[in-house]
Structure 1
Amino acid sequence: MVGNYPNTFFLHTIAATGEKPIVFTAKELPVGLSLDVSTGIIYGTAPKAGIYKVEVSATNKSGTSTQTLELNIGEKLALTPPMGWNSWNVFTSDIDEKIIMEIADAMVNTGMRDAGYEYINIDDYWHADTREADGKPKVDEKKFPNGMKHVADYVHSKGLKLGIYSCASEFTCGRRFGGYGYEEIDAKTYAEWGIDLLKYDYCFAPWNRKTAIERYTKMGEALKNSGRSIVFSICEWGVRKPWKWGAAAGGSYWRTTFDIFDHWKGNNPFQLSVMQILKQQIGLEKYAAPGAWNDPDMLIVGNYGKGNATSARGKFKGLSDTEYQSHFALWCMLNSPLLSSCDLRNMNDATKNILLNNELIALNQDIEGKQATLVSKKKGIWVYKKELSDGVAYAVFNTNSKQKSFVVSELIEKKIKGTVKDLVSGKVVSNSGEAINLDAHQTFVFKVNR
């Protein structure tokens, strides 16, 4: 399910994994849109408002897979949680044109694009020291010598989308020029550059909620009137409960916490651990819906304590692969935007396996758009339940620092015969009342079809 504003640029790559070459077809594609049959990239100008159901097929030597792709051309974007990558956690200020284009290449070459990842988001420090004389935003010409449109064109040629960063104040968090007072001119310029997403921060801005809502609403309106479908990411860290007003301000998703750091458990309120963030998501599920998502911050899978930001200058050494698996699985259950933040050019196999878990991604991208609810917390075993368009998913999460066990039939209402499959590990286990062991911080996810 893809959302887009009417009569604006449209770009979407059909997610399809398997042995190449793959040949794509699309039946009843609206006028104005074209399909690259060798890549699955649909591009062009979106039609007038309406819901268009397109039958898309992917064929390789193993056979053909067909599904219906719903194009919802109207007032909402990001009808499923956005998937992609963000530069901040690993690179902070050390970004340039070369790195961004290499990351785009890596997203294609690693199979991430085929799995549904599509956004390449440039965070802070893309800016020149000052704006142009006419007030337009200006890129750092040393970092981006060919300009931002050149980067956007390259990213788009890969079937991907480009995101950028600003702040609802005079300065960004990195003390580059912010967007406050320049909302219309910035939105128009971003559209001219070919930007597809804006992350809008809130450093150096008034603390009160009323002002925050006013500033985010002004940028939200400017983006909507820019002539381009630009997803709006609200990043005021959950302080003013944006889940209650973010959608009305034009946001497609909003941060619910301060920044995530590469550690499992901690107490620092400004260097949040995975466990701290999970606790802060409890009760927010009722505010999530297609086009309006809670964002518990980026994925730290594969950082291993190497990120410029997430390591806090070497303070945090990273998570174990088991913990990274749980982190990813639970973010999928929570309908979080799936924004990787590791160096995609240098991922190990464990990181790729986690980020490319198609069955977990399918839960996150389910068109029902229901965020999981924490339904049980007993003896350190947390159980999440997520309603799906074709069933229900459960996540059983061991928060303890030692191995624990559980029995599937004791956790869910519906009796399941035979076996269940752990969508995290891929293992199939018996459901005959036998206990299933979970290592410390391990998560077991299974689905019950209707």
Structure 2
Amino acid sequence: MPFPQFVPRARRLCRAVLVRTAVLATAAGALVGLQHQGSVDLNRAEPVAVTSNQIAVDPAPMGWASWNTFAAKIDYNVIKAQVDAFVAAGLPDAGYKYINIDEGWWQGTRDSQGNITIDESEWPGGMSAIADYIHSKGLKAGIYTDAGKDGCGYYFPTGRPAAPGSGSEGHYEQDMLQFSKWGFDYVKVDWCGGDVEGLDAKTTYQAISDAVAKASATTGRPLTLSICNWGKQNPWNWGAGMAAVWRTNTDIIFHGNSPSWDSMLANYDTNVHPTAQHTGYYNDPDMLMVGLDGFTAAQNRSHMNLWAVSGAPLLAGNNLSTMSTETANILKNPEVIAVDQDPRGLQGVKVAEDTTGLQVYSKVLSGTGKRAVVLLNRTGSAQNMTVRWSDLGLTGASATVRNLWTRSNVGTFATGYTTSVPAKDSVMLTVTGGTEASSSTYEAEAAANTKGGSAADATCANCSGGTKVGGVGNGSANTLRFNNVSVGATGTKVVDIAYTNGSGAARTALLQVNGQQATTVSFPPTGSWTTPGTVSVQVSLAKGSTNTLTFSNSSAWAPDLDAVQVRPLPGTNGTQLVGRASSRCLDIDNNTITNGTQAQLWDCHGGDNQTWANVTSRKQLVVYGNKCLDAYNRGTTNGTKVVIWDCNGQTNQQWNVNADGTLTNVNAGLCLDASNAGTANGTKLVLWSCNGGDNQKWTLP
């Protein structure tokens, strides 16, 4: 059947004020103006990025998990008692809904058909009975397995004998279907076996994700997937669209240890992937330690503050049967929970650190002129700390500040707010009523396009910089590209995406920014094809007007996508360091955050892994908000690797920016050098005696 001609709507006219440039490659069935259920609807409302209809995305999971208190020593009676205590404490009314059974429920046994078998002396009625009990309380039930053949209960037995065969490898579809038939709503898939076996995490979890989707379709019960591979192989690069959540680090504590301020902060510091978290997909820095022995009430509150400003899953792990009223009240603070569960679904980011250890984090909330703020004092003494509206992407207009733990407004302030923060503690605020900094809107413009068009089938003919692209016949179908997106500084920006989705389910598109890792964006239903809505993502853009945002979808079931609005977050601004000889950027490979990762050259794309804060007062070059460019092991000889490492203030992490374009390491007195005068992608960076070569000269645009 031939494709009908796509006719642009009358309102899709180039408007000189709004449109910078946008390029559309489309036909009936392409990303913009897609037909739904086989026909093109030319009467859909025109989406606009400035619509106030912010569509709520799926929130991060909230609930309780068994591991932190009980490890593998669990059975029906243990879980039932915790369910009863969970309800009695009022946690469901606060938004907590999952009861997740972690490792220890199964010892790896299967029947002759490969189905999991259960010790019914511990689980009377099998696992469906405990799932039914959880559901009888109006809650959702979660279960646990491993991606490998032998799970964590084999490699790290805790309270039970080593359990060979306690993973799901070779049984992904069978096990996910069995979990769903038992009545489970959530499955956490660990990585002990996968890690030991050297499995590829992305392909392994894709197979598990496919099995989860198939099981959900078979039973009609949605099964939420939680990836738990501890941040190995960088799941923030590929987790979105595959799972609802993915772990970004190892456990905060291993069984038998008490939580500490430092261990909690270590996991928070690795949860620095704001461009990966959006539209219902979440970074997971691990289960909550709130209420466990070893944490004070103040530390519990700070723990909640940091997880909430991150928008992280809130999965309590304390013994609910013995929980104090103080702990319950901390877990149930409605204003802190509201920040975590904000319908926009974004991750908070660091926006200031004027003095080492005094850090300001902010999360963009739904609505206009609304931010959550955490003032984190990592030092050993009380300090006055300031949040500036300008760092938050707000203008100098007055805004109201509210303390979320005293649950009271503290006043209205013109340009910022200063308060004292105790040692090793934090203050959590909301800032409301501020005026958003100016934004830029980029709108798609459609031209007629038919299947098999040869070359210039789509163009924004009346717009500055309009570009011709191929049609369906040469592979550009289902692609929408916004070119020449302009920003004043390299760093994280908020992008609101206007669309309509009149179907009854979320639809997805792949977003790629410049040459960065692509990410799957979910577009929930807007209510009808005539009702526009907006979802938000955070992207890292390069200074200038050469940025490109490309949306693509290989299926005909895509949202009707039309415009984007780009807003600054000035507190995240940094710079790219461009090699004079190579014209390539100082880069950390594959968005890796591991200490000791060697810096390299790569094509400039403005990603988080190429955005460096030049902290001149400390002579530091900082990436990801907390990793410093470092001369490995304080080396002072030619060839010393230049790596990233947790910022520690040592001189091997200090750099002099010289007038001739060189960067010299303060400790070594040597220059930052592209090894062997290399200019290719992947060329490693080292220290070398300064020699005036262009491979030692850098531009900070």
Report the TM-score, using the length of structure 2 for normalisation: 0.48
Counterpart pick for 1:259 among 248, 251, 258: 251
Question: Is it true that 1:139 corresponds to 2:131 in the alignment?
Answer: no
Q: Indicate if the aligned counterparts of 1:409 and 1:431 stay in contact, CA closer than 8 A.
A: no
Counterpart pick for 1:218 among 207, 212, 231: 207
Q: Indicate if the aligned counterparts of 2:62 and 2:313 stay in contact, CA closer than 8 A.
A: yes
Question: Is it true that 1:242 corresponds to 2:219 in the alignment?
Answer: no
Q: Please state how far the C-alpha of 1:441 moved relative to its aligned partner.
A: 2.2
Give, in whole Å, the separation in 2 of the partners of 1:285 and 1:355: 24
Question: Is it true that 1:353 corresponds to 2:329 in the alignment?
Answer: yes
What is the DSSP-based 3-state SS (H/G/I as helix, E as strand, rest coil) of the residue aligned with 2:193?
coil
Give, in whole Å, the separation in 2 of the partners of 1:140 and 1:238: 33
What is the DSSP-based 3-state SS (H/G/I as helix, E as strand, rest coil) of the residue aligned with 1:287?
coil
Instruction: Give matches, 1:4-403, under 5 Å.
Output: 79-175=58-154, 176=163, 177-206=166-195, 211-226=200-215, 227=219, 228-248=221-241, 250-261=242-253, 262-266=258-262, 273-282=263-272, 284-304=273-293, 318-379=294-355, 380-390=357-367, 391-403=370-382
| Partner residue, 1:60 | none
Q: State which structure, 1 or 2, has the greater radius of gyration over its C-alpha atoms.
A: 2
What is the DSSP-based 3-state SS (H/G/I as helix, E as strand, rest coil) of the residue aligned with 2:200?
helix
| Partner residue, 1:425 | 406
Structure 1 residues 348 and 245, CA, compared in 2 at 3 Å: closer, same or farther? same
Q: Please state how far the C-alpha of 1:185 moved relative to its aligned partner.
A: 1.0
Partner deviation per Cα, 1:363-386 (whole Å, 9 max, x = no partner) = 111111111011112322111111
Report the TM-score, using the length of structure 1 for normalisation: 0.74
What is the DSSP-based 3-state SS (H/G/I as helix, E as strand, rest coil) of the residue aligned with 1:204?
helix
Q: Please state how far the C-alpha of 1:414 moved relative to its aligned partner.
A: 4.3
Q: Please state how far the C-alpha of 1:191 moved relative to its aligned partner.
A: 1.1
Q: Please state how far the C-alpha of 1:292 moved relative to its aligned partner.
A: 1.1
Give the letter for the 2:252 counterpart: I
Partner deviation per Cα, 1:46-72 (whole Å, 9 max, x = no partner) = xx9xxxxxxxxxxxxxxxxxxx998x9
Give the letter for the 1:113 counterpart: P
Partner deviation per Cα, 1:316-339 (whole Å, 9 max, x = no partner) = xx1221111001111011011100
Partner deviation per Cα, 1:272-304 (whole Å, 9 max, x = no partner) = x0111122123x011001221000000000001
Structure 1 residues 409 and 237, CA, compared in 2 at 3 Å: closer, same or farther? closer
Q: Please state how far the C-alpha of 1:447 moved relative to its aligned partner.
A: 1.6
Identity of aligned residues (%): 35
Structure 1 residues 395 and 184, CA, compared in 2 at 3 Å: closer, same or farther? same
Structure 2: segments with no counterpart, 5+ residues: 1-36, 38-52, 155-162, 434-701
What is the DSSP-based 3-state SS (H/G/I as helix, E as strand, rest coil) of the residue aligned with 2:275?
helix
Give, in whole Å, the separation in 2 of the partners of 1:360 and 1:129: 40
Structure 1 residues 430 and 409, CA, compared in 2 at 3 Å: closer, same or farther? farther
Structure 1 residues 402 and 118, CA, compared in 2 at 3 Å: closer, same or farther? same
Number of aligned positions between the proteins:
357
Q: Indicate if the aligned counterparts of 2:148 and 2:168 stay in contact, CA closer than 8 A.
A: yes
Structure 1 residues 418 and 187, CA, compared in 2 at 3 Å: closer, same or farther? closer
Give, in whole Å, the separation in 1 of the partners of 2:90 and 2:363: 27
Give the letter for the 1:376 counterpart: A
Q: Please state how far the C-alpha of 1:91 moved relative to its aligned partner.
A: 0.2
Give, in whole Å, the separation in 1 of the partners of 2:381 and 2:106: 47
Give, in whole Å, the separation in 2 of the partners of 1:434 and 1:147: 56
Partner deviation per Cα, 1:98-149 (whole Å, 9 max, x = no partner) = 1111211222111110111011001111014511222111223232122111
Structure 1 residues 99 and 374, CA, compared in 2 at 3 Å: closer, same or farther? same
Question: Is it true that 1:445 corresponds to 2:428 in the alignment?
Answer: yes
Structure 1 residues 397 and 425, CA, compared in 2 at 3 Å: closer, same or farther? farther
Give, in whole Å, the separation in 2 of the partners of 1:82 and 1:444: 24
Q: Indicate if the aligned counterparts of 1:232 and 1:251 stay in contact, CA closer than 8 A.
A: yes
Partner deviation per Cα, 1:225-249 (whole Å, 9 max, x = no partner) = 113200000011001100111234x
Structure 1 residues 247 and 428, CA, compared in 2 at 3 Å: closer, same or farther? closer
Structure 1 residues 417 and 205, CA, compared in 2 at 3 Å: closer, same or farther? closer
Q: Please state how far the C-alpha of 1:407 moved relative to its aligned partner.
A: 4.0
Instruction: Give matches, 1:410-421, under 5 Å.
Output: 413-415=394-396, 417=398, 420-421=401-402
Q: Please state how far the C-alpha of 1:449 moved relative to its aligned partner.
A: 2.6
Moved more, 187-196 or 421-430: 421-430
Give the letter for the 1:264 counterpart: S
Give, in whole Å, the separation in 1 of the partners of 2:68 and 2:195: 25
Structure 1 residues 417 and 212, CA, compared in 2 at 3 Å: closer, same or farther? closer
Give, in whole Å, the separation in 2 of the partners of 1:235 and 1:101: 25
Give, in whole Å, the separation in 2 of the partners of 1:130 and 1:382: 49
Structure 1 residues 144 and 438, CA, compared in 2 at 3 Å: closer, same or farther? same
Structure 1: segments with no counterpart, 5+ residues: 1-47, 49-67, 73-77, 267-272, 305-317
| Partner residue, 1:31 | none
Give the letter for the 2:363 counterpart: K
Moved more, 392-401 or 124-133: 124-133
Give the letter for the 2:99 counterpart: I
Give, in whole Å, the separation in 1 of the partners of 2:432 and 2:411: 17
Q: Indicate if the aligned counterparts of 2:107 and 2:153 stay in contact, CA closer than 8 A.
A: no
Structure 1 residues 191 and 419, CA, compared in 2 at 3 Å: closer, same or farther? closer
Give, in whole Å, the separation in 1 of the partners of 2:214 and 2:268: 36
Q: Please state how far the C-alpha of 1:442 moved relative to its aligned partner.
A: 2.0
Q: Indicate if the aligned counterparts of 1:408 and 1:431 stay in contact, CA closer than 8 A.
A: no
